[in-house]
Structure 1
């Protein structure tokens, strides 16, 4: 490829890099500040003396989090929710998106179901009716109360439906001539070539399930059943419950500000660990799944 060597092209190239580096700094600097606060002394954090490096480095905020048995219980509950919830979201999205990707000649009730889906995107019954439904079904204080209310993400269904529309019809026709059933076509042809779209909606589901804290407050009466985000959102430094002098000395450098920073750092680590493996599919799946209606 021949590249222009003109001054204007070089200048534009430099400007683009400067803009990208500035945007990177806007995202990176606040995160570094939050990490530094979590490792700093409470007095330095309260006085806003912490920049990009910790002041009076200590691990007491993380010790308070990690030495608590409830933290690990809530962590496992969130892992369970992510695994079951994401699997269910993907399964139901695929099973709904495939028939909706067909024409009305192939699926006569397609427009009826599409109108229902769009209506639910624009209007909802509200928090109180949803709470009464969950309670009436006996799902309170169970993992299913966190999963089933959002089991069919409509946006993901539409995204996947548009992706399925981009698959050449000749592939399905050839499979049908060989005697393949609809389910065989779906799982043997559509899904293998839909990895970018599945990775995209899978990432949406993982982040959504992991970051949600309000459902735990709403549907869990027992704090022992809180998912991780609900647990750390409720966690505060309470010196009145500590009688061990060594613990009191250690927690003297911990405040709600440093603890909140540690909460944020701990809660984003699993997502940061998963994202690099799905990022390469993210742009492709999002673009292809949104350009064809």
Structure 2
């Protein structure tokens, strides 16, 4: 018994040690990026920064945060994330639910599944998407950032596979009580699918927040840029200032290096996600099926 108890303690200690090590491996790079973002340019370029800032300053953040356009772009990104989460989730659930039915209940199911897989592997390309948005006068609007990815196929398949694992007896009981298909979806499948819905919502949040490419392709007015596209443009503006700016502008720009600016961009991009993730984390560790019946 004593040997067994000792072996158990060693096992627990080993597990905790591995978890702590993995946590440090994940945390230290981010900590280093934060230190770089607050260090002076000469220290960063001289590779003097380790885990603490050298020559603490906030010039990199002032370059990013110190203008009205930043906050305008921030607001655009927030609205984009909210709309994207709602649209992606509603459309993905609406498409996934019918695909959980068998061939007898949903004729043509295999055709739709093949189309989904094909669409996931092959897309229309950038030029057709651009021309379609131009034809519908959606360029330079927030819808150009949302509609091209309104139905993520991966999310649909993820939702479909999860819903197919929900006990059919729940649906049968609801039908016996007089529920129609919409009521079955909203009163049976959605409450049981909270963990996977939270997962696809998190995918939408992260993807929409971090995406700068769509803004670069479909938005030509800087006052309509989402946050990531605007932050990406700051790098280009800094290089233009050094080449063509006034003496005061050049002096200020010389106090922040490209590495400072990139580090600050990473920190600004990560902070909102770090605030949102804990709110959704509980759904990842909750039971998969809520309120299942005993067979």
Task: Tell me the TM-score normalised to structure 1 length.
Answer: 0.90
Partner of 2:55 in structure 1? 56
For structure 1, the 5+ residue unaligned runs are 289-293
1:3–1:280 distance in 2 versus 1, CA, 3 Å: farther
Counterpart of 2:277 in structure 1 is 275
SS at match of 1:139: coil
The number of equivalent residue pairs is 285
For 2:114 and 2:246, the matched residues in 1 are separated by 61
Structure 2 match to 1:110:
109
Q: What do residues 243-264 of structure 1 show as CA deviations (whole Å, max 9, x unaligned)?
A: 595x776554322211111111
Deviation by residue 1:198-231 (Cα, 9 ceiling, x = unmatched): 1011001100100111011110111221111111
CA distance in 1, matches of 2:246, 2:3: 72
Match of 1:156, SS? Answer: helix
Change (3 A) 1:3 1:112: farther
1:82 aligns with 2:77: no
Which residue of 2 is the match for residue 291 of structure 1?
Answer: none
Q: Contact between 1:37 and 1:261, CA under 8 Å: does it hold in 2?
A: yes
Q: CA deviation at 1:280?
A: 2.0
1:39 aligned to 2:41? no
Offset at 1:5?
3.3
Residue 158 of structure 1 and its aligned partner are, at CA, apart by 0.8
Which segment is superposed worse, 271-280 or 121-130? 121-130
Instruction: Give the root-mean-square deviation of aligned CA atoms.
Output: 2.3
Cα offset for 1:53? 0.5
The answer to whether the Cα contact below 8 Å between 1:34 and 1:265 also exists between their aligned partners in 2 is yes
Contact 1:216 1:227 in 2 (8 A): yes
Superposed, 1:71-150 pairs within 5 Å as 71-150=70-149
Residues 100-151 of structure 1 show CA distances to partners (whole Å, capped at 9, x for unaligned) of 0111111112111111001111112222222222222221111111101110
Match of 2:293 in 1: none
Structure 2 residue ranges without an equivalent (≥5): 290-295
Alignment map for 1:100-249 (pairs within 5 Å): 100-236=99-235, 237=238, 238-239=241-242, 245=248
TM-score by length of 2: 0.89
C-alpha distance in structure 2 between counterparts of 1:242 and 1:86, whole Å: 41
